């Protein structure tokens, strides 16, 4: 019990708040890209990358998986990586 | 045997085995009729033999489920059965009704049977697996309601466990979905749509709850593993069953005239239907590995583990092989279907009923926990004979089905049905040989009840 | 109290359930992507008819609600029941925003005569978002149950597995939407 959890440590701004701001930023960026109407494989991939990053942030910080050792660290990461790759592939083959 | 009233399970189990033997005799007849077309014609035409084979299967499995419930519910609830008398009465009603129905199939033309039983008052006859006269179906409803009442009252007055509650939900679901057999729309699309509400939601739905709870019960008793561990597994397994199986019904809606989105929904959800079966396999082996004692009834443990494996292979793997709509487009209604159907039914439901009988029968007959070593050895031989022969039946039918699909549908120059049937005949002969071995295995199983009775119990 | 950090927070059975749900959505996403590959024109055309602004509001609402849930868990770990309840209620209201905005979108589509059979794109869009909608609903039921239990005093610094369990489910609902939103609304 000598490792205190993230949420218990005294910070000026909590780590999870910083994560929150990051998430909002990435979201608005994606939305702006969508609004601008730019299409193209690279743009789509960038938006997907933002989504996967957001997923990783939620998994690591909100779900608390960052401090988990062993097998259970990985399912969310795998879930982001595998469908992410499939989606990438599906977009590639039509570009 | 902890409670006197558990004894009512015994006649149910005996009837189950008896009807099982009848089912397989007709199965062997059918297998021969595939290759010697006029075998027993006109006395027992193919379609009649088929009705008898499939209907007997369902009826004996129902006897098995009821026997299993009558045995395990008093023990789980820690109280005597609400009404043993009612259970025995229902036994005889169900047995006589079932026997009369099968005799009806065999002795009179189907149309005559329909007339004799007043089908036109409430038409429910004429659909696959639901060929029973309306009055038989009504009888089944009455028996089911009485059974549920009896079991329900027992659980109510006693201890409520996860095992008995999951079993009860499964059995109630079985009864509720059977009511759809009374709904017979004129529109052919709707007819087929709702037919699956009986069949699919039974075998890929509520019956899996029954399977899971009986398996959990036997594992608790034979391994001594903590009840909480087993119950948690059971919850996860049935959650997966329902999540995948309910919308998974859509894998029967691809080609019947239902909207196209079913091809997507059905494929995606039914693709995951093997998951609960995979979990059951991991669960069963895990529990046996973690066991706290070596139960004397090793035959029952063998059947339990075998059930999990064969159910996963037959229902899970073979089911997955033809569940995706682009594949099913070609394989629909071929021998692939028959291959899957046989191994799935055997692996999941035949084997779980036999597991329960294997576990309970020794005690119903006065033993403390298990039969003699001699008897168990014979029983285990029957396990291997039946299971291996079923695997071969499935493999032969799969080979036949793959060829059939390719030559009749996929190739650039598709051949007519009968031309293809001639080409795959060799596999039907091999299937029949395997089927005879299966029957031998079943006979060996039956004899295990009569051997080693005087020997001491296995320790 | 699991001092060994081998397992994620909350009940393990819930995590198995979470993985199962994630699998369903993953299959759906892959099916969408490959279906799109065969119908690029169709998908791009009808994607334009979607209301990206509503989707933005929904995304922000879900991320915010996840953040609030995280704060609720942090508070119950420090035995602060009252604050925990406040954060949970805030999370629930964000969830309600999602449901209302999404329902608004559905009303708009329905009155335009769009349904599951209109075309493949709409079939996927409606199925995916509806399926997700149902999970948001279930998540809110779970969060409500946790809120009530916290209010009844069932949770504390030493015993709050239920809160962590419900929180994990809610984060799953959020993470799914974070993929769904760009995939269906934005990526061309």
Domain ranges of chain A: 14-92
For residues C3 and C10, the answer to whether their CB atoms sit within 8 Å is: no
The tens digit of pLDDT for each residue in B220-266 reads: 999 999 999 899 889 999 999 999 999 999 999 999 999 999 999 99
pLDDT at B264: 95
The answer on pLDDT for C3 being more than 80 is: no
**Cβ neighbour number for residue C66 with a 10 Å cutoff:** 30
The tens digit of pLDDT for each residue in C29-78 reads: 999 999 999 999 999 999 999 999 999 999 999 999 999 999 999 999 99
The answer on pLDDT for B326 being more than 60 is: yes
C168, β-bridge pairs? none
B246 lies within 8 A of chain C by CB? no
**What percentage of chain C reaches a pLDDT higher than 70?**
98
The answer on pLDDT for A7 being more than 60 is: no
Angle, vertex CA B45, rays to CA B44 and CA B51, nearest 5: 85
- Residue-wise burial string across C101-125, b where 16 or more C-beta atoms lie within 10 A, e elsewhere: bbeebeeebeeeebebeeebbbbbb
d(CA C172, CA C162): 16
CATH class of the domain defined by C52-186: mainly alpha
Question: Which among A8, A55, A89 has the least Cβ separation from residue C78?
Answer: A8
CA B72, B76, B78, B79 dihedral sign is negative
Compare A5 and B248 and report the one with higher pLDDT: B248
The tens digit of pLDDT for each residue in B57-78 reads: 999 999 999 999 999 999 999 9
Chains A, C: CB contacts under 8 A, how many?
A: 138
The tens digit of pLDDT for each residue in B334-376 reads: 999 999 999 999 999 999 999 999 999 999 999 989 999 999 9
Residue B459 confidence class, pLDDT cut points 50, 70, 90? confident
Query: What rounded mean pLDDT belongs to chain B?
Result: 96
Residue contact C6–A69, C-beta within 8 A: yes
Residue contact A30–C182, C-beta within 8 A: yes
pLDDT at A3: 46
A-interface mutation test, from C179, C180, C184, C185, most A Cβ less than 10 A away: C179
Tally: H helices and E strands in chain C: 6, 0
A5, β-bridge pairs? none
Full DSSP string of B196-224: HHHHHHIIIIIHHHHHHHHHHHHHHHHH-
pLDDT at C112: 93
SS percent in chain B: helix, strand, coil, step 5: 80, 0, 20
Residue contact C127–B264, C-beta within 8 A: yes
Residue contact A59–C175, C-beta within 8 A: yes
d(CA C123, CA C116): 4
C13 lies within 8 A of chain B by CB? yes
pLDDT at A55: 94
pLDDT at C2: 44
The tens digit of pLDDT for each residue in C118-174 reads: 999 999 999 999 999 999 999 999 999 999 999 999 998 888 999 999 999 999 999
- Tell whether omega for the bond before B115 is within 30 degrees of 0, i.e. cis: no
Question: The tokens of B446 are what?
Answer: 């039956």
The tens digit of pLDDT for each residue in B134-143 reads: 999 999 999 9
Residue contact C28–B268, C-beta within 8 A: yes
Full DSSP string of B62-81: HHHHHHHHHHHHHHHHTS--
Query: What rounded mean pLDDT belongs to chain C?
Result: 92
Domains of chain C, by residue range, sit at: 52-186
How many CA atoms lie within 13 Å of C49's alpha carbon, on the beta-carbon side? 14
d(CA B433, CA B388): 12
C157 lies within 8 A of chain B by CB? no
d(CA B189, CA B258): 7
Residue contact A91–C71, C-beta within 8 A: no
**What percentage of chain B reaches a pLDDT higher than 90?**
96
Residue contact C127–B240, C-beta within 8 A: no
pLDDT at A10: 57
A-interface mutation test, from C4, C5, C157, C161, most A Cβ less than 10 A away: C5
Question: Which among A5, A61, A79 has the least Cβ separation from residue C26?
Answer: A79
B272 lies within 8 A of chain C by CB? yes
């Amino acid at each position: 019990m000598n490792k205190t959890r993230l949420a218990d440590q005294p910070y000026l701004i909590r780590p999870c708040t910083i994560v929150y701001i990051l998430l909002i930023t990435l979201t608005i960026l994606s939305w702006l890209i969508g609004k601008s109407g730019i299409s193209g494989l690279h743009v789509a991939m960038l938006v997907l990358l933002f989504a996967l990053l957001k997923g990783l942030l939620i998994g690591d910080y909100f779900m608390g998986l960052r401090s988990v050792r062993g097998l259970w660290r990985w399912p969310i990461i795998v879930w982001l990586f595998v469908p992410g790759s499939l989606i990438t592939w599906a977009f590639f083959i039509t570009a | 045997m902890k409670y006197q009233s558990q004894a009512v399970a015994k006649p149910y189990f005996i009837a189950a085995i008896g009807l099982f033997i009848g089912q397989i005799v007709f199965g062997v007849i059918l297998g021969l009729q595939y290759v010697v077309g006029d075998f027993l014609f006109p006395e027992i035409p193919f379609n009649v033999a088929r009705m008898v084979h499939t209907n007997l299967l369902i009826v004996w499995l129902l006897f098995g489920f009821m026997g299993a419930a009558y045995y395990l519910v008093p023990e789980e609830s820690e109280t005597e059965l609400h009404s043993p008398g009612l259970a025995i009465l229902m036994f005889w009603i169900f047995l006589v009704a079932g026997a009369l129905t099968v005799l009806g199939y065999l002795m009179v033309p189907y149309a005559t049977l329909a007339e004799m039983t007043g089908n036109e008052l409430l038409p429910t006859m004429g659909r696959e697996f639901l060929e029973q006269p309306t009055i038989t179906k009504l009888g089944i409803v009455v028996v089911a309601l009485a059974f549920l009442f009896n079991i329900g009252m027992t659980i109510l007055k006693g201890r409520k466990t996860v095992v008995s509650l999951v079993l009860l939900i499964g059995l109630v679901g079985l009864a509720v979905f059977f009511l759809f057999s009374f709904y017979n729309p004129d529109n052919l699309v709707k007819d087929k749509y709702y037919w699956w509400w009986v069949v699919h939601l039974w075998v890929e739905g509520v019956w899996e709850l029954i399977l899971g709870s009986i398996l959990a019960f036997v594992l608790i008793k034979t391994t001594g593993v903590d009840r909480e561990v087993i119950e948690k597994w059971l919850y996860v397994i049935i959650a997966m069953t329902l999540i995948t199986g309910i919308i998974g019904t859509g894998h029967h809606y691809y080609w019947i005239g239902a909207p196209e989105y079913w091809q997507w929904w059905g494929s995606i959800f039914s693709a995951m239907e093997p998951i609960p079966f995979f979990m059951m396999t991991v669960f069963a082996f895990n529990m046996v590995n973690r066991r706290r004692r070596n139960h004397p009834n090793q035959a029952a443990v063998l059947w339990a583990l075998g059930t999990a494996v064969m159910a996963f292979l037959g229902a899970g793997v073979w089911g997955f092989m033809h569940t995706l709509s682009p594949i099913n487009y070609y394989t629909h209604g071929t021998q692939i279907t028959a291959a899957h159907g046989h191994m799935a039914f055997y692996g999941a439901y035949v084997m779980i009923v036999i597991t329960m009988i294997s576990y309970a029968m020794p005690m119903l007959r006065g033993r403390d926990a298990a039969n003699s070593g001699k008897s168990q050895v014979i029983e285990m031989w029957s396990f291997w004979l039946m299971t291996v022969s079923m695997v071969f039946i499935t493999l032969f039918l799969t080979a036949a089905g793959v060829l059939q699909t390719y030559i009749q549908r996929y190739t650039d120059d598709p051949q007519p049905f009968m031309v293809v049937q001639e080409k795959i005949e060799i596999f039907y002969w091999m299937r029949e040989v395997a089927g005879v071995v299966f029957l031998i295995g079943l006979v060996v199983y039956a004899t295990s009840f009569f051997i080693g009775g005087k020997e001491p119990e296995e320790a | 109290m699991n001092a060994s950090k081998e397992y994620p927070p909350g009940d393990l059975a819930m995590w198995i359930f979470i993985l199962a749900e994630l699998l369903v959505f993953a299959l759906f996403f892959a099916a969408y992507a490959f279906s799109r590959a065969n119908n690029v024109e169709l998908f791009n055309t009808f994607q334009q008819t979607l209301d990206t602004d509503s989707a933005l509001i929904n995304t922000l609402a879900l991320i915010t609600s996840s953040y609030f849930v995280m704060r609720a868990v942090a508070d119950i770990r420090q035995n602060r029941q009252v604050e925990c309840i406040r954060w949970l209620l805030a999370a629930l209201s964000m969830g309600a925003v999602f449901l209302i905005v999404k329902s608004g979108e559905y009303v708009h589509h329905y009155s335009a005569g769009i349904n599951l059979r209109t075309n493949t794109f709409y079939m996927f869009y409606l199925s995916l978002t509806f399926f997700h909608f149902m999970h948001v609903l279930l998540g809110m039921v779970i969060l409500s149950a946790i809120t009530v239990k916290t209010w009844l005093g069932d949770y504390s610094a030493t015993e709050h597995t239920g809160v962590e369990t419900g929180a994990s489910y809610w984060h799953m609902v959020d993470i799914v939407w974070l993929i769904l939103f760009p995939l269906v609304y934005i990526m061309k």
